[in-house]
Amino acid sequence: MNYFVTGATGFIGRFLVARLLKREDSRVFALVRPGSEYKLEALRRRLGVEEQRLVPITGDLTRKSLGLSKRDLDDLAGQIDHFFHLAAIYDLNADENTQRYTNIEGTRQTLKLAEQLQAGCFHHVSSVAAGGLYPGTFTEDMFEEASGLDNPYLLTKHESEALVRQESRIPWRIYRPSLVVGHSQTGEMDKIDGPYYFFKLIQKLKDYLPNWFPLVGVESGHFNIVPVDFVASALDHIAHLPEGNGQCFHLTAERSYNFSEVMDIIAGAAQAPRMPVRLDNRVFNAVPGFVKKGVNALTPKALINQLLESLDIPPTIVQFLAFPTQYDNQRARAALEGSGIEVPDLESYIQQLWDFWENHLDPERDQRKDELQPLPSLPDKVEDKVVLITGATSGIGKASALKLARAGATVLVVARTPEKLEETLHEIKQVGGIARAYRCDVSKMESVDDLVKEVLADYGRVDILVNNAGHSIRRSVVNSVYRFHDFERTMQLNYFGSLRLIMRLLPSMLEQGSGHVINISSIGVLTNAPRFSAYVASKAALDSFTRCAASELAHQGIRFTTINMPLVRTPMIAPTKLYNHVPTISPSQAADMICDAIVRQPKRIATSLGVLGQVMHFITPRATETIMNTGYKLFSDSAAAMGRRERTPKRISREQAAFSRLFKGIHW
């Protein structure tokens, strides 16, 4: 049996050709443009077939008789059993003239050639796009009912199909595949199209958010997705059935997915954040028109287009996110019955699609391979660096100073007590580190100014500043009504002291074109822990300043990292004897977080529970408030907070123990 195929080296074409050549005594004549014969030769080698079974026919889709030579026309006349027309532009970004010329005029010339060769049947591979933006279910018998054909791609697919229906003088069959993606077994794909446009967005979410981070999706549009191997197998099978001339077949999946479902399935393969919360698109219909206009006016189109471009998403695709059409495929299902050819669920092969895209189609794949190289070691990052740590004589600060000095940094330890400073210096020297002690009360602005002058005079710079010194107060708001100085003390040290250090060191960092500021914040800023209003407010103020400053100084080489520390067993929490019985991390573990910040320079380091707490406060504020209030009522203010002598409880209640383990690291 002889076949003529246009688009034989295209994505669907090469899989179809492979199936046609599996048939006994089959030969395929493939149209190739001058200079593109090598593509067919590559396909021939891939399939392992002889030259006489896969024959190149030189021509051009837009020329009369497709530009075939007289010899080829004479040799092929009356010899073609099936003529498959797959060549077309499948690109939403192509300009209208190019699409019209190729899709419409190309189909007209192809149809005339098939008639001239007296082909047994003309198989036109159209697309569900021929139905346009029909609002509802588009059946295989529908054509004139198509609507919303303003887009050139939709219009040219519709008009090229119209040519076959209205002008063909030989038997014809039309096939409308839906969104065609890669091979369900190998993931093979030749270009970024359809759902692939959103793979980069998913990848970015994976890079910047933990995979458990819940996202909110929108249940918008209908997306019918099929793998290329199904399309090729279905084409091959239906084309050889005795019945079917003059009919259209929808090569579509049984079900369509809305936009957030597609994104969620892709995210699952990428191990990126999922979309467990999905909003019905109709919710936005309730928004008043003047509000929508206001939002549109406040969102410059150029900014949106730039954002989409950075994610490799063509702006033209946005109009299809609310795609309104679903497809009935009863005729195609009946034709494929008993063949074993069916559409697999997207979930069953999405991993293959993602892996192939990440390894072969991602525009940044080479750069990302470089990024996947091992991170530099801590010694690599701190060698010949000057690191200043406040609160460096106990707890987190001391543990960090020892680790950094051991790694080769020059550590400047800052604290108030001379004896403790000398003790810390001695320990650092014992491990072979280099350090220098500076006495400073960070809560006093004049003391901070003197510290910076002395440090710059001694070393000329500070490469890494660790704002660790802090003061915490655990006391209910109702017990703080007459203790306004609690809020003043925490702000003075935790916010103004740290801020003063940053502002005084910033000019020298800007001058050298680099600098890294690490602020030790609290998990309480993310979870809004009860009883810590004074402490959390002071840390939140520093967080807010840091975000603003980071946005301004990113291009000048200044990096900021906020570490939202969970509960750490340090002298700072010692007055609250209750904490002797609840889960905490050690100062050494906290120091590891600081070392990680120095190596990776992330914007934020936080525990999973801390980030989840922040997300819950945003998504379900009332429910989260109830949980926090339960913890508040379950525990009580310490005796110290009430002005009495604190005693260590022999044990805590079963409920308190369970609650503290469930919310490990959160201050109560």
Pairing status of strand 247-251 against strand 179-181: unpaired
| 91, 98 contact by CB (below 8 A) | no
pLDDT of residue 253 exceeding 50, the answer is yes
Residue 662 confidence (pLDDT) = 52
pLDDT of residue 654 exceeding 90, the answer is no
* Alpha carbons 563 and 543: distance in angstroms, whole number: 10
User: Which positions ≥6 away from 562 have C-beta within 8 Å?
Assistant: 519, 521, 543, 546, 603, 604, 605
| 546, 562 contact by CB (below 8 A) | yes
* Alpha carbons 82 and 245: distance in angstroms, whole number: 12
Single pTM value for the model: 0.58
pLDDT of residue 650 exceeding 60, the answer is no
pLDDT digit string, tens, across residues 40-70: 999 999 999 999 999 999 999 889 999 999 9
pLDDT digit string, tens, across residues 146-199: 999 988 889 999 999 999 999 999 999 999 999 999 999 999 998 888 888 889
pLDDT of residue 131 exceeding 80, the answer is yes
Higher per-residue confidence, 475 vs 356: 356
When pLDDT is cut at 50, 70 and 90, the band that residue 614 belongs to is: low
Amino acid at 57: I
Q: Report in angstroms the alpha-carbon separations of 659 from 110, 522, 566, 588, 665.
A: 73, 19, 15, 25, 11
pLDDT of residue 520 exceeding 80, the answer is yes
Residue 574 confidence (pLDDT) = 46
pLDDT digit string, tens, across residues 439-453: 999 999 999 999 999
* Alpha carbons 514 and 287: distance in angstroms, whole number: 47
Residue 576 confidence (pLDDT) = 46
pLDDT of residue 583 exceeding 70, the answer is no
Residue 645 confidence (pLDDT) = 61
Q: Give the catalytic positions in this structure.
A: 535
Residue 638 confidence (pLDDT) = 61
pLDDT digit string, tens, across residues 467-498: 999 887 778 887 878 888 888 989 999 999 99
| 491, 438 contact by CB (below 8 A) | no
pLDDT of residue 594 exceeding 90, the answer is yes
Mean pLDDT of the chain: 85
Higher per-residue confidence, 445 vs 213: 445
10 Å Cβ neighbour count for 557?
13
When pLDDT is cut at 50, 70 and 90, the band that residue 627 belongs to is: confident
CA angle (56 as vertex; 53, 59 as ends), nearest 5 = 150
- Please give the average per-residue pLDDT across 191-210, as a whole number: 86
Residue 365 confidence (pLDDT) = 79
Residue 582 confidence (pLDDT) = 45
pLDDT of residue 665 exceeding 50, the answer is no
Considering only CA atoms, which of 28, 31, 145, 172 is closest in space to residue 88? 31
pLDDT digit string, tens, across residues 84-118: 999 988 766 667 788 888 899 999 999 999 999 99
| 356, 188 contact by CB (below 8 A) | yes
Q: Quick one: what percent of the chain has pLDDT higher than 70?
A: 81
When pLDDT is cut at 50, 70 and 90, the band that residue 568 belongs to is: confident
User: Which positions ≥6 away from 130 have C-beta within 8 Å?
Assistant: 143, 146, 154, 157, 158, 161, 176
pLDDT of residue 403 exceeding 70, the answer is yes
* Alpha carbons 564 and 205: distance in angstroms, whole number: 21
When pLDDT is cut at 50, 70 and 90, the band that residue 612 belongs to is: low
Residue 634 confidence (pLDDT) = 65
Q: Report in angstroms the alpha-carbon separations of 475 from 160, 565, 572.
A: 75, 19, 14
Considering only CA atoms, which of 490, 466, 592, 610 is closest in space to residue 539? 490
Residue 271 confidence (pLDDT) = 86
Residue 227 confidence (pLDDT) = 97
Phi/psi-derived region of residue 391, left when phi > 0, alpha when psi is between -120 and 50, beta in every other case = left
Residue 52 confidence (pLDDT) = 93
